[in-house]
Structure 1
Amino acid sequence: MIDPQELANRYVEVWNERNAELRRRQIAALWVANGTHYVGTREARGYEELEQRIIGSHEKNVALAGNRFRAVRDACALRDVVTFHWEMLAGHDDTVLAVGLEFLMLDTDGRIVTDYQFVPGQAQPSSHG
């Protein structure tokens, strides 16, 4: 059984990681090879697309804006699912600039198969056409 908070912390670390090679290794350790990440209307599938998605967020929010992400200490697991909230903080203090919810579906080894990211206020695809 995995520790859901430890997984949440590792997940958030990859979005803060500045070293490209270390970030690649973290992605491979967290996700299965054909893992998916969904946020709003975007989809990333497989290591290359996951890496590009994370790089885009990192460059915008961490490298350029000086912010950082942290996992809220509310991670919980139920069977093959882990959920937790995260916060994006201003780099100079703990002012919360954004929040989100992760819903992670895991394989039997505890690696992410599907990652649903919910960010309040962000456009979500409609299921009603």
Structure 2
Amino acid sequence: MPDYTALAERYIEIWNTTDADKRRALVERLFTPDATFTDPVGSVSGWAGIDEFVGGAQAQFAGLSFRLGGAVDGHHDLARFHWHLGPEGMEPLAIGFDVIVAEGDDRISSVYGFLDKVPA
């Protein structure tokens, strides 16, 4: 059974890694080669698609960081968790809820994201 919290922490780490080469290496270690990511803003697949999507979000929200918004809940090959985006120690500017599908104990094959709070 996967360590759901570890998967979510590795996922959040990708969103906070701004060095493009390091971020791509993390994407390749965490996601399966044909992984998909779908949220209200877009839908991408594969390492390149996920990496480009994350890079675009980082450019849009430069200087802000992602963090887990509470405990990670999981069963079978599924996990769900809230995330917060904003300056450290301050009220989050954005809040989301993601569901990940694990493949094996240490990889993600799909992410389904939902936005609960977005900046005006």
| TM norm structure 1 | 0.84
Deviations 1:93-124 (A, max 9, x none): 422111101100111243111100100267xx
Aligned to 2:78: 81
Q: Note if 1:90 corresponds to 2:72.
A: no
Percentage of matched positions with identical amino acids: 27
Q: Note if 1:102 corresponds to 2:98.
A: yes
Aligned to 1:126: none
Measure, in 2, the Cα distance between the counterparts of 1:72 and 1:96.
10
Measure, in 1, the Cα distance between the counterparts of 2:5 and 2:70.
7
Q: Note if 1:40 corresponds to 2:37.
A: no
Which is richer in strand? 2
Aligned to 1:9: 9
Structure 1 position 11, deviation (Å): 0.6
Measure, in 1, the Cα distance between the counterparts of 2:67 and 2:29.
19
Q: Note if 1:67 corresponds to 2:64.
A: yes
Aligned to 1:115: 111
Q: Could you say which structure has the larger radius of gyration?
A: 1
Gaps of 5+ in 1: 123-129
Root mean square deviation of aligned Cα: 1.6
Structure 1 position 10, deviation (Å): 1.1
| TM norm structure 2 | 0.90
CA contact (8 A) 1:5 1:73 kept: no
CA contact (8 A) 1:4 1:75 kept: yes
Q: Which runs of 4+ in 1 moved over 3 A?
A: none
Q: How many residues align?
A: 118
Measure, in 2, the Cα distance between the counterparts of 1:48 and 1:39.
17
